[in-house]
Amino acid sequence: MVKTLLILTILTTLTFAACSTSDSESNSDSSSSSGEALSTGKTGTLQEPKVYINKLLVGDGNAQGGASEKQSKCDDTISHCVRKKVPHSIWDTITESIRAYNPESQRKEPFCEINEHKNGAGVPFEIGTKIEVIGAPTNDCQHTMIMRPGMPLSKLPTALVKVKVLEGPNKGLEGWTWSSAIAVDGK
């Protein structure tokens, strides 16, 4: 009886994990890498995206050794953090999934996926362009996986938000970009 229940539980869990991918078209809230809330309806300007890789994080995303919560945070002032260059782009399509951050991890987390092989390259944006936040992924992903032709797959500790361009040659363009690429008006 216990063995049957255990097998049934494992199969149910695997089924949910395998079926947890969806295309995203949501209007919920998200947050930038600085922790600032990016609610639907807020306006701002596009800025240089800031995505950091924490060299202390290993395996399932836990800090190595006895690293404190403060050490796990990253910005330009912390020596164990490396800034990762990401494209200044807006993508019209993302996919949401649940996956491990790396192969050694036992913990699965929500991811946003950008696949330029399947959906084409994003539209480059100009820094300083006025935008409005119009949505966030339904799975509240705080990690993004980007697949680009000629580049290795990258898993990044950053969220995406859906924006609408309010000015310039791409006025009216709606799509997804890095949450850290938005400087919210009035902040």
List pLDDT tens digits, range 77-128.
777 788 889 999 999 999 999 888 777 777 888 999 999 999 999 999 999 9
For residue 86, give the 3-state DSSP assignment. Answer: coil
Which of 130, 134, 138 lies closest to 165, judged by CA?
Answer: 130
Look up residue 37 and give its two tokens.
């809330």
CA–CA dist 5, 149 (Å, integer): 45
For residue 112, give the 3-state DSSP assignment. Answer: strand
The larger pLDDT score, comparing residue 129 to residue 100, is at 129
The larger pLDDT score, comparing residue 109 to residue 16, is at 109
Please tell me the predicted confidence (pLDDT) of residue 95.
Answer: 93
Residue 119's contacts (CB-CB under 8 Å, 6 or more residues apart) are 91, 92, 93
Which of 54, 69, 33, 37 lies closest to 142, judged by CA?
Answer: 33
CA distances from 64 to 60, 67, 80, 106 (A): 10, 6, 12, 16
pTM: 0.71
Q: What percent of the chain has pLDDT over 70?
A: 70
- Distance, CA of 3 to chain centre: 39
